[in-house]
Structure 1
């Protein structure tokens, strides 16, 4: 067997030096301490530098998060029609917010893009953050780098065609509250069908004496709705038209995005000049309503606008006021037929109903002779209960019972918010 060569030995001078070091305990301790201190300094420096970098990263991410949410909100207010145009708007918004937050040094190269799908848009901003070090330069690390990304999803205002279908029959001249009804009874001796006698015209007396009527609340509900649409839709996606009904169905205002026009075309005052006007001949025109509304869409474009019909009524139809002396006609004072609402939903329209119910009129001869009579639908209760049943069937999930003056004036706002949820961003 060939012998292995001996292991190499250090030169004699090195051996002597190591021997002296080994024999010098103070030198060994100094060397170990120096090495340990270097390690400790690097470790502590690393912790300090990295902790500072993380704080800077978190600050930069917070700025970026808020910047994209702000950009998404601004995007919804813009009329940008393409992703390129939307990206331009969003980029300017992100850059502006970063500058206002004094974070340009950290987020100088933020990159923004927008991707749209239907009514939804996603704003994404990405940035590379580089934080200089103070201690890690000892080991050649001059900067700590992070890549940050933040997104905000938004849903813009859909295209909606709103039809306000407002009852302006004589019953809208009833007192709005129990106190108003009491004042009418005390001064004109009735509260229901009072316009049959010109000497007891409740509408004229109420207007002259500051009594609030249902009609006053209806007008205010339209005004409040116009204000609401202006607040939530700054891009003109919502159009409103107004139809009123009593003896006939009339269009007060064609579809418009101009809420000034809505305010200028409020429902006219109820006709209370005699017994042959001011009725609610619902059965004669209800079938024409679906054709006036048309088919609904998903709201992604004007051609695919959501169709929303919101009706405000007490739900009572009658031929005219001759039932006060023509007894057989009293059976015609009854609930609406809600079939038209089913037809509207079949053509993908949304139907909402605000019921302004009759307050307690027990003891008023006109009420007792009509709505106070037993149900004509074979149900328990009276005809007034029939009206609630029919309107609930008509409105479904979008039925709203307005039992106070406040709930009447806010009723269209309430229904719209339920039918078309407000835009969101996060």
Structure 2
């Protein structure tokens, strides 16, 4: 009997220790708003109530003491529940002892989700006008003789972007825009407290004459505002093909521009001490004016894989760099691809992976769901809670 009753007491202590740190518990909610480490008194009260609620009145009457302590140490919460009790025993009565003392303790730990600022860096340069799937690519080639839709403003006949949409062709930029809007729903779904996650959205520029980091949505925890702003994200426009030699994708310059925008990196332990993430979605193809080029160069135009050194500057500052690589599709029937891209095509993926913080890289090819890849990586960054006992 004494063994059974101690087991019941231990089960109650385990349930209280774990329950006090459940995702929607008072302890977690209070910890997420605490400006510093320390005891969580509301959690202590909750754990005590949970412990007693697991026990029948007969066992409650046998308790001598109950000790509860829930504390926060940076991003880790720890709950300790211990007890002592006197359990009646007929067997011990023969030696004049009517009860035996029992005791036990349970401990649980919980790793809180961090406070994070996400800086979405979305490639909207002309190569993101590629059809989103093989079927979309085939439709573009059949109607326009090219796998890409062009946002050209010089001559109406050169602007195949709207014509492609009239044919219900979905482009990579469309998928990226829709997926980013979907991520705003994830923020509201996964947050434990208001202001836990904030998001800003940037592109590589509106048009060929205004290249550079372009704010689409300012940093905010209001995901409705982000969702509305991202509606305006579209393919970068250019006057015509080969305008400014098509040198419209300069990763080094764009990363250098976003670095001061991201600002100081924190631990993620509080709303004023936030982790920072740059979330890049791109095919990784540099197309810029460079004197030294690791890919193919004609005059000053350099086409090459992204240089991981540009990402290293961010990572050295403590910023996490998450990368969704939208596969640069081989076009073996295209002379330009064969002559200019094929020689270094095999280096595109490794360079994008090297750009990412280890563990935060994912590839999405045309027949794979780019939106799903973005969501998978985004949720990994938000880091689902871990509970151990």
CA contact (8 A) 1:294 1:347 kept: no
> Are 1:270 and 2:235 matched, yes or no?
yes
Offset at residue 352 of structure 1 (A) = 1.9
State the match for 1:101 in structure 2: 54
User: Deviation of residue 72 (structure 1)?
Assistant: 1.3
- Other-structure match for 1:347: 317
Q: 1:289 — aligned with what? A: 258
Instruction: Tell me the secondary structure at the aligned position of residue 106 of structure 1.
Output: helix
Deviation at 1:157, TM superposition (A): 1.7
Q: Cα distance, 1:291 vs. partner?
A: 1.8
Please identify which structure carries the higher strand content.
2
CA contact (8 A) 1:289 1:340 kept: no
Match of 2:179 in 1: 221
Task: Pick the aligned partner of 1:182 from 130, 138, 143.
Answer: 138
Relative distance call for 1:202 and 1:134 in structure 2 (3 A) is farther
Correspondence 1:2-401 to 2 at 5 A: 52-73=1-22, 74=25, 75-78=27-30, 79=32, 81=34, 87-103=40-56, 105-107=58-60, 109-134=65-90, 136-192=92-148, 194-196=150-152, 198-199=156-157, 201-235=159-193, 236-246=195-205, 247-266=211-230, 268-272=233-237, 274-275=239-240, 276=243, 279-282=248-251, 284-318=253-287, 331-364=301-334, 368-369=335-336, 371-374=337-340, 381-397=342-358, 398-401=360-363
For residues 49 and 122 of structure 2, the distance between their equivalents in structure 1, rounded to whole angstroms, comes to 47
By how many angstroms is 1:126 displaced?
1.4
> Cα distance, 1:172 vs. partner?
1.9
Change (3 A) 1:294 1:273: closer
Q: Provide closer, same or farther for how the CA distance between residues 104 and 251 of structure 1 changes in structure 2, counting only shifts above 3 A.
A: farther
The superposition leaves residues 282-309 of structure 1 with CA deviations (integer Å, 9 ceiling, x where unpaired) of 4554422222222423223344422211
Relative contact order, higher structure (CA 8 A, sep 6+) = 2
* Structure 1 contact 91–113 (Cα < 8 Å) conserved: yes
Q: Distance in 2 between matches of 1:92 and 1:171?
A: 58
The gaps in structure 1 that reach 5 residues or longer are 1-51, 321-326, 376-380
User: How many residues are matched?
Assistant: 360
Pick closer, same or farther for the CA change 1:396–1:152 going to 2, 3 Å.
closer
Does the residue aligned with 1:265 lie in a helix, a strand or coil?
helix
Name the SS for the 1:261 alignment partner.
Answer: helix
Contact 2:15–2:51 at 8 Å: present in 1 too? Answer: no
**CA distance, structure 1, for counterparts of residue 54 and residue 376 of structure 2:** 38
| Deviations 1:310-368 (CA, angstroms, capped at 9, x unpaired) | 11111223369xxxxxx95794344333332111122221212211012343324xxx3
Asked if structure 2 preserves the Cα contact closer than 8 Å seen for 1:160 and 1:306, the reply is yes
**Mapped partners of 1:338, 1:312: distance in 2:** 15
Q: Decide whether aligned partners of structure 1 residues 401 and 84 sit closer, same or farther in structure 2, where only a CA change above 3 A counts.
A: closer
The separation in 2 between residues aligned to 1:340 and 1:273, in whole angstroms, is 25
CA shift for structure 1 position 268 = 0.8
Tell me how far apart the structure 1 counterparts of residues 11 and 345 of structure 2 sit (CA, whole Å).
58
Tell me which residue corresponds to 1:411. Answer: 373
Q: Which has the larger radius of gyration?
A: 1
Q: CA deviation at 1:151?
A: 0.9
Partner SS for 2:386: coil
SS at match of 1:250: strand
C-alpha separation in 1, matches of 2:188 and 2:100 = 49
Counterparts of 1:258 and 1:395, CA distance in 2: 27
3-state secondary structure, aligned to 2:71: strand
TM-score w.r.t. the length of structure 1 is 0.74
Distance in 2 of aligned mates of 1:385 and 1:100: 62
Q: What is the Cα deviation at residue 248 of structure 1?
A: 2.3
Q: Deviations over 1:255-303 (max 9, x none)?
A: 2222222222216111346425993344554422222222423223344
1:117 and 1:183 mapped to 2: Cα distance? Answer: 57
RMSD of aligned residue pairs (Cα, Å) = 3.2
Return the TM-score normalized by structure 2.
0.80
- Report SS of the residue matched to 1:297: coil
Give the match's secondary structure for 1:382: helix
